[in-house]
Each structure stands twice: as C-alpha cells, then as structure tokens.
C-alpha cells in the first residue's frame, strides 16, 4: 500500500471516528432533552389491590395472587401479584406518561434499580385501606406504612442524586392514591367489624379524615400533584351480589343500596378535596389535588357492556365467578375462555381490559397533570 493510500485510510478512519462521536453526542443531547421535556419526573402509587403490582408477594399474608390463573394475559403470562389477568390502570398510566416503563413495579421488589425508583413504583398492598383496622384483617401493609416506605425511597434517591435533586424530582412527580373498597366491603359490610362502632355517615367521615391525613403526609414530603381515586359501585361487585341477593344464581344485578353508599362517599370525598384545594391555593405555587372517578367508568361498562365489547358483567371469569378471589382463584379453578368479554376477573377485581377502559376515562386528568 502506498503512502497516499495510508494517509487516505487514516483520514477515513478519523472521519468515521469523529462522526461516531458526533452521533453519540447528538443521541445524548436528544435523551437529555427528552428527559427535561418530560413534565412528570416519576409516578408513585399508594393503596390497595386495585393498584398493587405485587408488594404482597414479599410479606407474610394469605392475600396474594402470584400464581395462575392470575397474570394469564400479562406479558409472558407471568402471575406478578396483580389481582387481575393482565395490567392495572396504573401500569397503563405509567406507560402513557413517557417515563420509559411499560408497567409499574412493586417497591418491595429487592431487585429494583435506582432508575426504577426514580421513574416510579407502587407502594400499594392488596387488602389495605384508609381505616387502620382494615389491613390488620388480612395482615397487609397499612397506608401509613406505605408512606413510610416512600420516605425510605426518598432517602435511597438522595444517596444517589443528592437531596436538592431529589426534592426537585418529587416536586415534578405525580402521586396516585386508590383505596377505600376494603374498608367498606370487608370491614363494614361483610364482617362487619366497624358497623358496631360507626353509623354509615360517621364511618364515611372517619375514612375521609384518614384520606386527608394521608394527603397531608404526602404534601409534607414535597408532593405537589396528587390524584385521589374514588370507590367503585360496591353493589356491582360479583361478591357483593352473591352475598346479598335473595336469588344468587338466577337474578344477578347491581344492588343499588350498596352502590348508592359508594356514590355518597365519593361526593363527600370530592367536597373535602375541594375544601383542601381552596386552602392549598394560598400557597404559591399551589399543590394540585385531582379526583379520579372510578365509579362512573365501571358503572358505564356494566350498564352498557356491548359498547365496550363485554358480554358478562355480574360474575367473574375465574371459577364460578361468584365468590372466588385471591387463593380461592387458583390453578385448579375453571377459567372462562375469553376474559376480554368479562368486566370482572374474579369476584372483586376488574379484568385487564376493564382496567384499560378505566385508564382511558382518566386521560383528561392525566393530561391535565402532565401539562400543569
């Protein structure tokens, strides 16, 4: 090879090397820009089985779902501990917000990376509730403990990125709370433990007081965008229909008296959130509270199932669909051939498809948070 050829080869290699450096630099700039443009820095979730992606796998409780047929339609058919056949509404939200995660992991997973903690996790525990007595029934994680876990999560982030960056990160994060069903259905209606101590109105007010305390706890930790979900129509849950209908098998329809209790609670909750927001508006800039309606979307699917592609609304896909949930819905249970035709997966929890429709109904709130 001549001298000119050698010079040409070296020049070509140099140009290629420079080009690669420029491409890498551009990729890093684009990635950094995307990160800076993402108006939600992280997504943190608290509550019960409606938003628990598997925290109960790591505690001593019988209230688990990390076994088939749960997870039947989850990616790779993995029973993660989600109380449904597929994904939860909060999984869809996490994916939608551009946080580069397809699903929201459980905080208690010992293999979580710092990146996972930064972009978002769920602290929720199936069977929990706002009433401190509720989680003791099934030995699950109380709401107050979930807040302690979040504080622990913050300390872990501070070790890696520092206190100031962590505080800024929390300010830009979104927080989601979904609980209350176990308090009413398990603790007040079925057992009924708290009915001996509270009138219905007094119990509703008791729960809302705990909701407000929890919100205050999040505000003190720096949260500025908090979503609080209402409760579903209790009278439409297959288990409630089974336990409270005179003819369980022949006439299965929503029980309006129980659903009206849920509706009344949701109205009280919205009123209290409005009053809290008025006080928060005195802060500059004010933290924002958002109410997420669960009742309306679920009732809509049940009242007009054909519009959403559903066939069955009063029983679950797993087992008889009348009473099974958690360990009663297991690998020897019969399972319907097409869960997407069912609103409910077991006797309490919606199917992944129903959760998707609930997510779609919440998009205006999510977009409002992203653009706030």
Write down all domains in the chain, each with its CATH number in brackets: 40-295 (3.40.50)
Q: What is the DSSP string of 124-139?
A: --TT--SSTTHHHHHT
49 is catalytic: yes
Determine contact, residues 224/284, Cβ cutoff 8 Å. Answer: no
Q: Which of 125, 128, 346, 362 is catalytic?
A: 346
Residues of the chain with pLDDT under 70: 1-38, 248-249
CA 329, 62, 133, 106 dihedral sign is negative
User: Exposed e or buried b for every residue in 29-64, given b needs 16+ CB within 10 A?
Assistant: eeeeeeeeebebbbbbbbbbbbbbbbbbbbeebebb
The pTM for the full model equals 0.89
Q: Which of 41, 49, 314, 362 is catalytic?
A: 49
Beta strands 288-292; 225-229: pairing state: parallel
Backbone angles phi, psi at 45, to 5 degrees: -125, 140
| Per-residue pLDDT at 245 | 85
Instruction: Determine the straight-line distance between the first and last CA of the chain, rounded to whole angstroms.
Output: 64
| Per-residue pLDDT at 248 | 67
What is the Cα–Cα distance from 65 to 368, expressed in whole angstroms? 33
Q: What confidence tens digit (pLDDT) does each residue in 255-290 have?
A: 999 999 999 999 999 999 999 999 999 999 999 999
346 is catalytic: yes
| Per-residue pLDDT at 33 | 30
| Contacts for 212 with CB less than 8 Å, ≥ 6 apart | 272, 276
Q: Which of 52, 349, 357, 362 is catalytic?
A: 349
| Per-residue pLDDT at 312 | 97
By C-alpha distance, which of 314, 317, 294 is closest to 303?
314
| Per-residue pLDDT at 38 | 58
By C-alpha distance, which of 124, 114, 150, 105 is closest to 56?
124
What is the Cα–Cα distance from 9 to 3, expressed in whole angstroms? 10
| Per-residue pLDDT at 301 | 98
**Containing H/E element for 224?**
none
| Per-residue pLDDT at 316 | 98
Task: Identify the burial level of 279 via C-beta atoms within 10 angstroms of its C-beta, where 0-12 means exposed, 13-18 middle and 19 or more buried.
Answer: exposed
349 is catalytic: yes
**Containing H/E element for 149?**
helix 143-161
């Amino acid at each position: 090879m001549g001298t000119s050829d050698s010079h040409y080869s070296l020049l070509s290699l140099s140009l290629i090397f420079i080009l690669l450096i420029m491409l890498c630099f551009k990729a890093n700039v684009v990635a950094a820009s995307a990160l800076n443009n993402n108006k939600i820095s992280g997504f943190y979730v608290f509550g019960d089985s409606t938003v628990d992606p598997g925290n109960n796998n790591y505690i001593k409780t019988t209230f688990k779902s990390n076994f088939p047929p749960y997870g039947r339609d989850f990616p790779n058919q993995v029973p993660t501990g989600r109380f449904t056949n597929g994904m939860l509404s909060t999984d869809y939200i996490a994916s939608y917000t551009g946080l580069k995660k397809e699903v929201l992991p459980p905080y208690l997973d010992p293999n979580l990376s710092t990146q996972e903690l930064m972009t978002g996790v769920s602290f929720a525990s199936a069977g929990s509730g706002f009433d401190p007595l509720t989680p003791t029934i099934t030995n699950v994680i109380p709401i107050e403990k979930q807040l302690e876990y979040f504080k622990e999560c913050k300390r872990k982030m501070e070790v890696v990125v520092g206190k100031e960056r962590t505080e800024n990160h929390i300010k830009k994060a979104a927080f989601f709370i979904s609980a209350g069903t176990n308090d009413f259905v398990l603790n007040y209606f079925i057992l009924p433990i708290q009915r001996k101590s509270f009138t219905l109105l007094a119990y509703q007010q008791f729960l809302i007081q705990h909701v407000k305390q929890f919100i205050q706890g999040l505000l003190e930790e720096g949260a500025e965008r908090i979503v609080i979900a209402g409760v579903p129509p209790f009278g439409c849950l297959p288990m409630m229909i089974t336990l409270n209908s005179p003819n369980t098998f022949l006439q299965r329809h929503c029980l309006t008296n129980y659903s009206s209790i849920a509706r009344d609670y949701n109205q009280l909750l919205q009123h209290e959130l409005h009053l809290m927001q008025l006080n928060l508006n005195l802060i500059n800039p004010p933290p924002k509270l958002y109410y997420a309606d669960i009742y309306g979307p679920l009732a809509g699917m049940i009242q007009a199932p054909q519009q959403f592609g559903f066939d069955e609304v009063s029983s679950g896909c797993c087992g008889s669909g009348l009473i099974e949930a958690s360990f009663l819905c297991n690998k020897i249970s019969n399972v319907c051939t097409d869960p997407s035709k069912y609103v409910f997966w077991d006797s309490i929890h919606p199917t992944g498809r129903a959760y998707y429709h609930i997510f779609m109904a919440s998009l205006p709130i999510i977009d409002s948070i992203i653009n706030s």
